[in-house]
Structure 1
Amino acid sequence: MIFRLGELFCGPGGIGWGAINASINNPNYRIIHQWANDYDESTCKTYRYNICPNAPETVYHADIRTFDMSQLAPIDALAFGFPCNDYSVVGEQKGMDGTFGSLYTYGVKALKKFKPMWFLAENVGGLKSANNGHAFTKILEELHTVGYTVTPHLYKFEDYGIPQTRHRIIIVGIRNDISVKFNVPSPAPFTHLNNTCRNAIENPPIPQDAFNNEFTKQSDQVVRRLNYIKPGQNAFTAELPEDLRLNVKGAKISQIYKRLDPNKPSYTVTGSGGGGTHIYHWAEPRALTNRERARLQTFPDTYKFIGTKENVRKQIGMAVPCNGAKIIFEAILNCFAGITYNSIESNIN
């Protein structure tokens, strides 16, 4: 069975790559791209170049709030990583009251219109606690109401071999009239993988001519500051001279000028970069390149991001890790193919 996938809020293609590269022991079950939508023009160009270069017209650059879905082709599956800004624990957690909080409803609208056999929805772990938990409950109720049995789970991607501490809620839904049950894939088959950030970035070495591998210029002061910060430390835990300390009132964010610990997964890759929020190399006094950040998100080196360096940094930070998405899509395919696999109970009731 070939599932035609539609994507809303597609981003640069972390989910899309995971979908079209998902492979199980039954080659008759696979996923192909049908269409995608995102509001950022450069992001759409990246998606077209890497996911569907032979069908660029199937990626629609448009704001979902004014987008006419009636022009879209039929689909068998839907993915939507609805914007997480208002649910992130790093942000203000406005939840449903924020600018982005209600955008999930367009995923619900697409489910009503296309009635795909299954869907995958993704958001940050903070979604569960937004609006005192009411936002998450409301989203699950609406997904159930439109005819789907849903299985939410907080995936800790570092447990699945991803070289990054990244926790995301993934909701998999299967249409109620289909007698297939989704089981959360177990991390057990991936625990042997070397998911340190050093291994991800250095093995194999990044080619000199790799896409998106430009260095960020550091000021002399930043270089001096980084030279005092040890691997795993940040600007507040390191012993800095008085002239290099940060005069920040209130919360001391742990990722400010934080250097990677080479023997552990990276901390979470985000779309930001100003004010010391780049990810910093463990040995060299500099920020990571976008290609190094992409490796932490498990994008292949052949994946070309299109846009300014700052826009590309944002694209990479907003994406779902390619290999993490692939693992979940393979679990879905196995469910439909009737193939058993290692699974665990959902950690969200």
Structure 2
Amino acid sequence: MKNKTKKIKLGEMFCGPGGIAKGAELANKKISKLFNVELTHAWAIDNDIDAIKTYMKNIKGVKNNSVICTDVRALDLNQLKNISSINAFAFGFPCNDFSLVGEQKGFRGKFGPLYKYGKEILDIFEPEFFIAENVGGIRSSNNGDALKEIISELSRSGKKGYRITTHLYKFEEYGIPQSRHRVIIVGIKNELNLTFKPPKPTHIGLKEFVTCKSAITKPIISKRAANNELTKQHPRVIERLKHIKPGQNAWNADIPNSLKLNVKGAKISQIYKRLDPKKPAYTITGSGGGGTHVYHWSENRALTNREKARLQTFPDNFIFEGQKGAVKKQIGMAVPPEASRILFEAIIKTLQKDSYEFVEPNI
């Protein structure tokens, strides 16, 4: 007689369109066979209505009351008990105030302190493990004190605390076709007496990286694919792109004076930057205006949202809700599902005391 599958109920805060949840579904293909364990949706929270609609459309197990659109500061977190208990928790707390691209306000900013709501969830539910994700820039925020304080607080969560592992992941080293570097904190309940180790990178060096061209063109995206509308480029933008070679941007390309940008101050490297087809993409972001849309290596245009979703490892049948700009934001803010899958598989192996190749934490 087959043993009953153990359900690991996953709660999420700042869930976005469902990159982490989709990764959990992908991880189930392996962990359900190896350990008779399955990650399942319990509840999810985000304040972006379009992201919530996307989550509800694509993630398995969603119920009418299990996905909540609200600002966490306006929610009584204890009410989540009425929806479901959890034994796993994930929160990619807002990165705006920790990003190197922004002002790096850290705890002084509007978004910096929001991780505390994740700590409240840990205090209330005491799940077996949690995952917290943020940008690499958090390491230097508030002179390095922000990350130390966050780790310290999370480690003291719940009645007996959590054993913390913090690591800077370079996702291109795990087969993600994008240079996306993120700090991920994994905590396992102290009473389990287990220590998580980051899984060993599977793609070492440029020759092994998955290129942006390969991700976008193999297989060819169907013309009927959702979220694949072309952006109408201004003739001046098209003319400018003609002078920018793959890998170059508006500042290091040989552009005629008549087409150069009149910018004073900081010159962000991603402005009108073409992808290099022989390398992973540069980081896909959800913010920014003209010139930040990520540009094709040979065609004089910005990528479609579906092409960006490919670079974020979302499958083509994952359909994003909302207008084009809202979809761009969702894609750029999400955790790549394949990165999430790799993390969940390693965490479940840790809980099951199964072996896997790992590296020592670098933070």
Return the TM-score normalized by structure 2: 0.93
Deviation of 1:336 (Å): 1.1
Structure 1 counterpart of 2:87: 76
- Alignment check: 8 A CA contact 2:173 2:203 kept: no
Alignment map for 1:217-296 (pairs within 5 Å): 217-296=232-311
- Alignment check: 8 A CA contact 2:41 2:61 kept: no
- Alignment check: 8 A CA contact 2:276 2:297 kept: yes
Task: Tell me whether 1:176 sits opposite 2:190 in the alignment.
Answer: yes
Alignment map for 1:22-171 (pairs within 5 Å): 22=27, 23-24=30-31, 25-52=33-60, 54-72=62-80, 73-146=84-157, 147-171=161-185
Distance 1:29 1:53, change over 3 A: closer
CA distance in 2, matches of 1:326, 1:242: 47
CA distance in 2, matches of 1:160, 1:94: 30
- Alignment check: 8 A CA contact 2:23 2:338 kept: yes
Q: In structure 1, give the amino acid aligned to 2:138.
A: L
CA distance in 2, matches of 1:289, 1:245: 24
CA distance in 2, matches of 1:132, 1:194: 33
Deviation of 1:193 (Å): 5.6
Deviation of 1:69 (Å): 1.7
Structure 1 counterpart of 2:3: none
Alignment map for 1:318-333 (pairs within 5 Å): 318-333=333-348
Task: Tell me whether 1:19 sits opposite 2:27 in the alignment.
Answer: no
Deviation of 1:339 (Å): 1.2
Q: In structure 1, give the amino acid aligned to 2:341.
A: K
Structure 1 counterpart of 2:10: 5
* Aligned length, in residue pairs: 348
- Alignment check: 8 A CA contact 1:161 1:190 kept: no
Q: Which runs of 4+ in 1 moved over 4 A?
A: 189-194
Deviation of 1:250 (Å): 1.2
- Alignment check: 8 A CA contact 2:203 2:209 kept: no
Deviation of 1:189 (Å): 6.6
Give the 3-state SS of the residue equivalent to 1:184 in structure 2. coil
CA distance in 2, matches of 1:294, 1:275: 19
Deviation of 1:275 (Å): 2.3
Q: In structure 1, give the amino acid aligned to 2:20.
A: I
Q: In structure 1, give the amino acid aligned to 2:173.
A: D
Deviation of 1:200 (Å): 0.3
Deviation of 1:53 (Å): 6.2
CA distance in 2, matches of 1:198, 1:189: 17
- Could you give the per-residue CA deviations for residues 183-220 of structure 1, whole angstroms, max 9, x where no partner exists? 11000377786510000000000011101000001000
CA distance in 1, matches of 2:79, 2:154: 23
- Could you give the per-residue CA deviations for residues 86-106 of structure 1, whole angstroms, max 9, x where no partner exists? 000000000000000000000
- Alignment check: 8 A CA contact 2:35 2:352 kept: no
- Higher alpha-carbon deviation: 311-320 or 271-280: 271-280
Distance 1:89 1:194, change over 3 A: closer
